[in-house]
Amino acid sequence: MKFFIDTANLAQIKEAQELGVLDGVTTNPSLMAKEGITGRNNILKHYVDICNIVDGDVSAEVISTDFKGMIKEGEELAELHEQIVVKVPMIKDGVKAIKYFADKGIRTNCTLVFSCGQALLAAKAGAAYVSPFIGRLDDISTDGLNLISEIRHIYDNYEFETQILAASVRHTMHVIDCAKIGADVMTGPLSAIEGLLKHPLTDSGLAKFLEDYKKGN
Ligand code: G3P
């Protein structure tokens, strides 16, 4: 299972990278705005900065909602760095754009996916990744993890190569449940990754080992 961090915060990306378990980064316009990154040139530069920190794929989202605009933007993003994956929304022109990019060898991440039908379309169009937003489904009393299971089942039926990127992951149990289901990738905040470290028996066990060592030395 790949671990992506879902942020545009360079310090957090560095921290996750230094932990040695980071496989990539996802961003979106809201996450960019949260870091105060505005203006096309600053945003493009920020993507390159992120690529220079991590080894894996970095999702960069188009803002256009029409086919031509998405193509223009996506090609510009893909040119920035070989690690860039163009993030395209699940709308009609987005599906067309994913197909266009797939034919040109440009990898895409189909975002804002909330149903199996949308995931099926993304795979048919040739998306490298599909991003079902599990936390946002949970927010409206719908089982986000169930969607991951259903997409896993559908993709396995037909051996689709599109990777299931569980997005809008909010906490450690989302990460663990996605791993049980067989999501290919999860993207979440640093807290969801570092939270996996924690267990009180580890802390008390280590304290006892160190205490006993001191007694004997
Ligand atoms: O990866 C998608 C993500 O950025 C959305 O997360 O927490 O805003 O639902 P959230």
Name the phi and psi angles at 95, rounded to 5: -60, -45
DSSP helix, strand, coil percent of the chain (3-state; round to 5): 55, 20, 25
Residue 129 near ligand 1, beta carbon < 6 Å:
no
d(CA 116, CA 142): 13
pLDDT in the model for residue 98: 98
pLDDT tens string 23-60: 999 999 999 999 999 999 999 999 999 999 999 999 99
Which residues, other chains included, contact 57 with Cβ-Cβ below 8 Å and sequence gap of 6+? 4, 23, 24, 25, 83, 84, 85, 107, 129
Using one digit for the tens of pLDDT, what is the confidence trace for 63-97? 999 999 999 999 999 999 999 999 999 999 999 99
Please work out whether the CB of residue 6 comes within 6 Å of at least one atom of ligand 1: yes
Q: Which of 168, 186, 187, 190 to mutate to test the pocket of ligand 1 (most atoms within 8 A of CB)?
A: 168
Determine which one of 87, 96, 104, 214 is catalytic: 87
Nearest CA residue ID for atom 3, ligand 1: 168
In CATH, which of 3.30.1780.10, 3.90.25.10, 3.20.20.70, 3.30.560.10 is domain 2-216? 3.20.20.70
Banded model confidence at residue 217, pLDDT cuts 50, 70, 90: confident
Is 133:103 a contact under the CB 8 Å cutoff? no
Residue identifier of the C-alpha nearest atom 10 of ligand 1:
168
* Phi–psi pair at 79, nearest 5 degrees: -70, -25
State the pairing for strand pair 84-89/129-132: unpaired
CA distances to 36, 63, 70, 167, 172 from 54, rounded to whole Å, are: 21, 24, 25, 19, 22
214 is catalytic: no
CA distance 88 to 74: 8
